[in-house]
Chain A
Amino acid sequence: MEYLILIPVLLTIVAGALLYAFRFQSRKSREIYLLVILVINCALVWWIAFNAPVEPLLIARFADNLHLTFFVDGPAKIFSCLVATLWIPATVYAFDYMEHERHHLERGEEWVNSFFAFYTMTCGITIGLAYSGNPLTMYVFFEALSLVTLPLVIHLQNNRSVRAGRKYLRYMLGGAAFGFITLVFLIVYGDASTFTTAGMIDFSAYPEMTDLLLLVYLCGFFGFGVKTALFPFGNWLISASVAPSPVTALLHAVAVVKAGAFVLIRLTFYCFGAHNLSGTWVQYAIFAVVAFTICYGSTMAVKETHFKRRLAYSTMSNLSYILLGVAMMNKIGLVAAFCHLVFHAFMKICCFFCAGVVMQRGDRNYVDELDGIGKDMPLVMGCFTIAGISLVGIPPLSGFVSKWKLAESAIATSDPILTIGAAVLLYSALMTAVYILTIVVRAWFPAKGSSVENPVSVVGWRMKLPLVFFTVVIVLFGLYAQPLISFLEKLM
């Protein structure tokens, strides 16, 4: 019975691999197959979240200290539920998107087939990452995630995407190499068998090594932080926006980058222990980098005129919001980090899907071509408007709740340097307002005679339904986020 938690990890990986091996000839049967798998997967993940085994599940033991362990604790529940839930609408959206793309590029069914194979496998690996019970297991899935998403990034198979893919791989593997150093230290100097909020390394046992251990933490923070596009390792994210929209949305909003943030939360709160780190120089160091990334990302988003790349920059800054909560290293910080992890997933996936629709069906790529698009695609741009305003942090939408918590955590440190975090949030909110509202205003209030006359093709329900779903969730979380917040408050 306790082996049940392996099913969500393996189910989609196997399903994806099977899809790759035995290609479906008919589009319809493939879609039904995928939907059934994903719905079962989602139901299982939710069931496990409510009936999770209290003990870690040991799968294999390589040496005394090297275990392969799965453990469904609080953070694992949140992240796995988020991923499993978002994968369904994202796949439904991808059906429509890829079908259009296929016609567009005149590629075969095979091409779409392999896309969905990797797309589905990513889900299982992300859930595996969430369920990992110790740093080693997490590291395995972390590397696997980089590899399995590579075919998605280069899926268009033109020069640009191959170049982006090469860049992506270089960044990912390089980062993981640094993470590996941290992993080794965790295994040698600490008890790396299971995650615990108390921290795995007992700092007081190695008084002469404190600085070295902190340096190792910093090394791991930057190494794993490559996935969260931490400055100065964020450029892969911008280049990777050449991938098809469902992929960018998932890479940028849910799977890859959020996996990075999730790993950093694990590393800080569950491996090294927040109490060991807070107040040391390393806290200021990561705070400085995170604060700079927030400002940098949002400022560059204002300057960027390509629709999707602008959103990618926005992602860069928003991921660092999550890390800002981590950098505060207190309880509210953890709550705020997870809050923003969840809310940003919904907001950004909604924004990216809207951008995908506008770019594919409206044939508009740059922000200055968006004049009057709101009249052609009222529902899509309506969803974008709500998600965007939430991203700015305007009440009563969900972005406000997490930003408020973040600012609260910054003030709660009662450290004058760390309270600058609140000011950083303010600056970034202003920039966010600029880069989102310029799009919104252009879309709904075009200056007379400036409309772009590109034809707009029909947007199917399979694209609209996910958007509406995300928007409703954004509004609902904004109005009533209490269950999530009280769950998070019990984590630490």
Chain B
Amino acid sequence: MGEYVLPVMILLPLIAGGIGYWIGTKNKKLRDRFTVIVTILELVILIISCSDVFSGAVYELEVAKLCGLGLSFRLDGFRFLLSTMAMLLWAMCTLFSEQYFSHYHRRNRNYFFWMATLSATVGVFFSGDLITAFLFFEIMSFTSYVFVAQEETQEALRAAATYLAVAVIGGLAMLMGIFLLQNCLGTLEIAALHEAGEVYLAQAAIGGASTTQYYVAGALILVGFGAKAGMFPLHIWLPKAHPVAPAPASAVLSGKLTKVGVFGILVVCCNLFYGNQVVGGIMLVIGLVTMFLGALLALFSVNFKRTLACSSVSQIGFILTGVGMQGILGEENAIAASGTILHMLNHSMFKLVLFLVAGVIVQNLHALDLNEIRGFGRKKPYLMICYLFGALGIGGIPGWSGYISKTLLHEGIVEGIHHMHASHTAALGLKCAEIVFLISGGITCAYMIKLFIAVFVEKNTTNEAKMRASDASYLSLPGKIAIGIPAVLLFVFGTFPHLFYDRFAALASSFMNAEPMAHEVKYMSLVNLKGAVISIAVGVAVYFGIVRTFMMKKEAGEKVYVNRWPEWLDLENLIYRPLLLKWLPLVFGTICRFFSETDGILLFFRKTLYREKPTEQLYIGTRMTYKFGRIANFGVKVLNRTVRKNHPVTKDYVVTFAQLYELNKRRNRMIESSLSYALLLFCVGMCITMIYLLFI
């Protein structure tokens, strides 16, 4: 029975979106309520009808021949967790939207695409093969474009264009990869990829065949999903898109759409490249770079939402680190796999809470610059607690859920170091990875402290009255519920890890071909706490050492935040845009311009070998024509002054006579050289001779 729920769950939001659009043309309030109810209903249906996944059941459904290649759906523990989280996110954000969007135009459009994106996201998570995943992934990319462009300002459109370009290019790369993979393995079913891949590699090893196609296919699919996940160097859309998108959309983009990308990365890395140390190493390096760079960007940013967006990039880096460690550890990947899964769930909730807090700020102040919004959170204890829960979670403070997943990821790296004792360089590399991991964790703490102090501690001397104006009514009850629930969850999950998170991890680990963890991890042991303490210490040090000194400056007796990130250092403007918009068109344009006339080659010859003589020639004439011309010109001048005052003659007779002369000369030459002229002369001669003979 449960398997038939899957297509229903995918179609329900889409249909509800259509109905909502229709309702919205009649009654806006009713539409908002309707959408909230549908999203909550969706969550409830999924949990009730598919609760068997907790006991290890897997639902599968194949719809052959549909969409050209057939669709296949599947629901197992991991997919269940991800889709429940997606629905929770959507439900909370929809709840929050009613107040947030109350001043927006074109809400109907927004709500429709909002629901369509939910349907596509759930579709990706439910997909049983890569084609189905690709189909819903593309739909998701296109429908979510509308959120980013919602405000239709210049920056929004520019960011949206970047988003679309990355999505389209990524999608095409992925399609190519899927295609090559289909050709290699003959199957695209996710559950069968691992085995088919091993068989293929074994056969290639025996036959001595090249396996390049296999790796290229995997890499292309990784590029496609990685672009959506925000993997370095394809993260460029994230920091641009978030500040301009509406807050609930940002929460969804960063909380869930990036996870769709990670889901795809996991499909590739844990199935195709299961236990492949080289790929694992590459993913680890990419993860570390993404993690560190994202954290650094977040630290430099002075825009509340941009900080959160960069933080998303950084947190994706944490997840990718886990993915990389799974590859390096091979069959001992239980801890790394658990860390990866839990950090995915965690990050969705952090970003839900934090972006909604940003939403509260925007809907009251319509600003996001830290200097303008500072002090907004004072005397708003509810908002402060919610933000704190999110920040403590993301910072990895013991007692909140971020600590659990970060500990597991850290443990994974430590385990890797133990494994690699044979190879000295590898162990050293992982040691470095651990250091980068801890420092990035520290920077995470630092930028969270920066936001906290700016919004909730510092006073706004210039605009205090405005800040206080909204103290009582800054957030409606549904909004409070929407922020409160995930905030509380973060605390509950973090305080009782064995009750929830260990089970979740066990439920999902089969997706990554990982065994459930052999023994319970003692989260509160001294070794594990040490990692957290180091991060916190680094964080505090960075905050006071760098943020308060280097990134703030005194202006009119008050310290203000300044953006110290060099303007030119922007991957998009430095490389991608010039490459795509300037260099590629230049090269192809030159080629095309050459061929753009059908007879490009003819044209080429005409300009080179068969060049014609210039037809315009200067008429020189003789002395006589010049003199006559001057006289005529003088006559005309006189006439122009007298008789033809109103219609002056503008002809230059010098040229005209010269022209006539040349024409005559040419004609004469032609006549002289012609046969008839000769005959004529002959005739004349004959006549004269005859007259002479006759008369003389």
Contact = CB atoms under 8 A, between A and B. Distances in A.
B55 interface: no
Interface in B587-603: 588-589, 592, 595-601
Given A300-B592, A448-B153, A437 B66 contact: no
B168 A430 contact: yes
Contact of B172 (A300, A433, A447, A448): A433
B680 interface: no
B164 A445 contact: no
Nearest to A397: B67
Nearest to A339: B68
A190 interface: no
22 contacts: A234-B598, A296-B595, A299-B592, A389-B142, A396-B139, A400-B67, A400-B68, A401-B68, A404-B68, A408-B179, A426-B176, A430-B168, A433-B172, A441-B164, A445-B157, A445-B160, A447-B157, A448-B152, A448-B154, A479-B67, A480-B66, A480-B67
Contacts of B168: 392, 430, 433, 437
A29 interface: no
Interface in A270-316: 296, 299-300, 302-303
B545 interface: no
Contacts of A232: 595, 598-601
A232 B597 CA distance: 9
A404 B130 CA distance: 14
Given A303-B585, A394-B138, A448-B153, A478 B600 contact: no
B641 interface: no
A430 B169 contact: yes
Contacts of B153: 447-448
Nearest to A236: B598
A446 B179 contact: no
Given A389-B142, A404-B69, A235 B179 contact: no
Given A231-B595, A448-B152, A480-B66, 17 more contacts: A234-B598, A296-B592, A296-B595, A300-B592, A389-B142, A393-B175, A395-B138, A396-B67, A404-B68, A429-B172, A441-B164, A445-B160, A447-B153, A447-B157, A448-B154, A478-B68, A480-B67
B592 A411 contact: no
Contacts of B236: none
Interface string B127-146: 00001001100110010000
Contacts of B596: 300
Contacts, number: 93
Interface in B137-182: 138-139, 142, 149, 152-154, 157, 160-161, 164, 168-169, 171-172, 175-176, 179-180
Contacts of A300: 592, 596
Contact of B154 (A235, A395, A411, A447): A447
Nearest to B149: A445
B65 interface: yes
A443 B120 CA distance: 24
B172 A303 contact: no
Interface in B60-75: 65-69
Contact of A411 (B164, B183, B597): B183
B172 A426 contact: yes
Contacts of A400: 67-68
Contacts of B160: 441, 445
Contact of B65 (A422, A446, A480): A480
Contacts of B176: 422-423, 426
B589 A303 contact: yes
A300 B67 CA distance: 31
A368 B241 CA distance: 24
A398 to B, nearest CB: 8
Contacts of A394: 138-139, 142, 171
Interface string A370-412: 0000000000000000000100111110001100100110010
B597 A303 contact: no
Interface string A451-492: 000000000000000000000000000111110010000000
A460 to B, nearest CB: 23
Query: How many interface residues does chain B have, given as a range?
Result: 35 or more
A257 B183 CA distance: 32
Contacts of B142: 389, 394
A389 B183 CA distance: 26
A430 B172 contact: yes
Nearest to B69: A404
A233 interface: yes
A482 B70 CA distance: 10
Q: Is the interface of A mostly helix, strand, loop or mixed?
A: helix
A430 B588 CA distance: 14
B29 to A, nearest CB: 24
A411 B179 contact: yes
A396 B66 CA distance: 9
Contacts of B597: 235
Interface string B177-191: 001100100000000
A396 B164 contact: no
A445 B152 contact: yes
A401 B134 CA distance: 13
A8 B139 CA distance: 42
Interface in B568-625: 585, 588-589, 592, 595-601
A165 B138 CA distance: 42
Nearest to A292: B595
Contacts of B175: 393, 426, 429
A123 to B, nearest CB: 29
Contact of A395 (B67, B183, B599): B67
Contacts of A396: 67, 135, 139
A303 B154 CA distance: 23
B185 to A, nearest CB: 13
In the A-B complex, the 7 residue pairs with the closest CB atoms: A235-B598, A401-B68, A395-B135, A482-B65, A396-B67, A433-B168, A445-B149
Nearest to B593: A303
A482 to B, nearest CB: 4
Contacts of A437: 164, 168
A482 B66 CA distance: 8
A381 to B, nearest CB: 13
A404 B598 contact: no
A72 B585 CA distance: 47
B589 A446 contact: no
A213 B34 CA distance: 70
Nearest to A412: B183
Nearest to B154: A447
Contacts of B588: 299
Interface in B336-357: none
Contact of A441 (B154, B161, B172): B161
Contacts of A482: 65
A481 B68 contact: yes
B169 to A, nearest CB: 7
A423 B168 CA distance: 16
Most A Cβ at <10 Å: residue of B142, B171, B172: B172
A394 B167 CA distance: 12
Contacts of B138: 394-395
Contacts of B135: 395-396
Contacts of A389: 142
B592 A303 contact: yes
A233 B69 contact: no
A422 B177 CA distance: 11
Interface string A51-86: 000000000000000000000000000000000000
A234 B600 CA distance: 12
A233 B138 CA distance: 36
A479 B154 contact: no
Contacts of B157: 441, 445, 447
Nearest to B171: A394
Contacts of B598: 232-235
A303 B581 CA distance: 11
A478 B67 contact: yes
Interface string A411-450: 1000000000011001001100100010001000111100
Contacts of B600: 232
Nearest to B164: A437
